[in-house]
Structure 1
Amino acid sequence: MYPEHPGHAPTGRAVEVHQPTPITPAAVTPAPLVPVQPGHVPTVASVVLPDGRVVTGYAINPVQPEPVATKPPVSRAAVNVALGGVGFLAVCVGLLLLTSFIAALTAFIGQLIILAAVIFGGWIAVQVFSASSQQGGTTVNIRKAVIKRNKFYG
């Protein structure tokens, strides 16, 4: 039951008090002793408390927390977008260079064609003018042909 509160009128009920029942410990078997290597015996530390008591025990190294995986300062998506932009820029520059190369190659081929026409035309001119200046060349007489009523008179 609940104890009476000061300031409340007593109800007249009896108060029941329950005492805990002690539990008897079970038979404790001693743990097997594990041999400890001589170099691995932990050091014993003594601490004097402010009230004068001395507490002695083994020093326990504090538990180091697991290292937390640090997030990179920049997200992977941003890095991927940036790398995609760099790749796209490289492709655009490559296409621009390819276009410039094709234009330069076309101009070079056009100049070669013009050079060949000039050289070949010059060679033909030399042949024509050198043949007319020589004496004793072949003479070809061309007669006027007449065609009357689908008949050839040559």
Structure 2
Amino acid sequence: MFPENTTHRPVQQAVTIHQPTPITSYPAAPVVPVQPGTLPAVTSIVLPDGRVITGYAIDPGQPEPVVAKPLVSRTAVNIALGGIGFGAVCGGLVLLTTFIAALAALVQQLIILAAVIFGGWIALQVLTAGRKQGSTTVNIRKAVIKRNHFHG
């Protein structure tokens, strides 16, 4: 397998080291006129090794105001208000059903009263029919009927 190396060790090859190439500086970009106040001021910082870094100063961002959380959630408040409303309505429903039951009993009593009065009126009409003017009362006593002729 390894004809040039009899000890079966890999052959060492020469290592080449590449140094990074420095970045070449490019000509400065043309300056675009900007209204004052729209861009922050340019700041330059000199590092201890002598390099100068130029850039915009960035103001630290303001944290968003913390919205105070309510002590009780809206859902809990809505459920509680719904329970109170339901309790208030239940009292009204009990009164409503009581009123409907009383009204039904009243109508039933009025129907019975009308039937009694109307039935009594009809009974009076039937029983007093013979006592009106123009009617004749016939008393039959030992009547004799001869040859289909009545002799009283």
TM-score bracket, shorter-length normalisation: 0.3 to 0.5
TM-score w.r.t. the length of structure 1 is 0.45
